Amino acid sequence: MPELPEVETVRRGLEPHMRGALIVEAKVHRRDLRFPFPPRFASRLKGQRIEAVGRRAKYLLFVLSSGETWLSHLGMTGAWHVEQGGDLRDGRYYRQPDAPAHTHLNLLLERADSSRVAISYSDARRFGFMDLFADPAGNAFLTGLGPEPLGNEFSAAHLAAAFAGKQAPVKSALLDQRVVAGLGNIYVSEALHRAQISPRRRAASLVGRGGRAKAELEVLVAAIRAVLIEAIEAGGSTLRDFRTASGELGYFQHRFLVYDREGEDCPRPGCGGRVRRIVQSGRASFYCPRCQR
DNA sequence: CCACTAACCTGTAGGC
DNA sequence: TGCCTACAGGTTAGTG
């Protein structure tokens, strides 16, 4: 799925359609995705107004007029689709002319100007999931998450504390959502390349002992922020089945410098190295052994 | 607690 | 074209 920049792009795509809208109809077409839908899910959505469309890490958070928060995680292949107007047939709202395969949830929304919009969620692999709860502070998915990488709490000092004593590779440590929330496999590879840090380094080895002109963790934090900001500005990445919430596909093309570029020349000017692919905790990492140390 | 693996599920790309 | 295998952006349960 979608990592933080893609989820943020989806949020921005959905917000103008959903914020302030009334959920007129809600249909769930199976009992579970990765986890079962919450009890009486559809009926708890129906009749509610959507007051806010937010994001925390890779979670979309819709605040309802009932006071409940509706959470959506896209897993690997989750996608939201928007169809102006909206047409109900046999309990399903069809996009015209082609409904996406694996649509598990359909909503019909009515906005202040009485216009209607059909929103649907599709997810081929069903690694995504949803939840609905009264108290975000008590929700198991949200508690224990690390800071937002683009927020003020994320800093070299935070990483130093999180990495201290960690023998796992920095690649794995950055994928741990308790350390920092929102990074995924692609952007970790990209950020480490920018920071010229090898994904194989033990996390603890990056914790500075002072004396260096610019600590590696400062460089890493800046690289993570820059990569995410640029990706969000590019509108998220278009890759495989990822689409923007408005259904646009191939509208933009974000280029990754090392991800999925095994064997290509290192993009760093003058480096002369070659991008390598290795596997760490079951996931592919791409890096340049020459300039990433 | 830490680190790693397998598992969840479907689609697709690449080799033969 | 068809068949088979490997792999895919995420997270979690289980193992040692």
pLDDT for the residue A191: 97
Q: Is the pTM of this model over 0.85?
A: yes
Binned at pLDDT 50, 70 and 90, residue A245 comes out as: low
Average pLDDT over residues A83-93: 63
Binned at pLDDT 50, 70 and 90, residue A69 comes out as: very high
pLDDT for the residue A173: 97
Average pLDDT over residues A29-56: 96
pLDDT tens-digit profile of A101-148? 899 999 999 999 999 998 999 999 999 999 999 999 999 999 999 999
A7 pLDDT more than 70:
yes
Among chain A residues 199-258, those with CB within 7 Å of any atom of strand B: 240
Token pair, residue A278, equals: 């290795």
Distance A130 CA to C10 C1' (A): 14
pLDDT for the residue A1: 57
The residue whose CA lies nearest the C1' of nucleotide C8 is A76
What are phi and psi for residue A186, nearest 5 degrees? -70, -50
pLDDT for the residue A100: 74
Rounded CA-CA distance A185/A171 in Å is: 9
A243 pLDDT more than 90:
no
Distance A92 CA to C3 C1' (A): 35
A32-41, A95-104, A147-156, A204-213: which has the minimum mean pLDDT? A95-104
pLDDT for the residue A90: 56
Strand C bases, protein C-beta under 7 A: 7-12
Binned at pLDDT 50, 70 and 90, residue A97 comes out as: very low
Rounded CA-CA distance A118/A21 in Å is: 11
Are the C-beta atoms of residues A208 and A215 closer than 8 Å to each other? yes
> Residue for token digits 């646009």?
A248
Rounded CA-CA distance A10/A267 in Å is: 29
pLDDT tens-digit profile of A246-280? 655 434 446 799 999 999 999 999 999 999 999 99
Among chain A residues 154-213, those with CB within 7 Å of any atom of strand C: 175, 177, 183-186
Distance A282 CA to B4 C1' (A): 9
**Strand C contact with A3 (CB < 7 A):** yes
**Strand B contact with A125 (CB < 7 A):** yes
pLDDT tens-digit profile of A211-239? 555 799 999 999 999 999 999 888 765 54
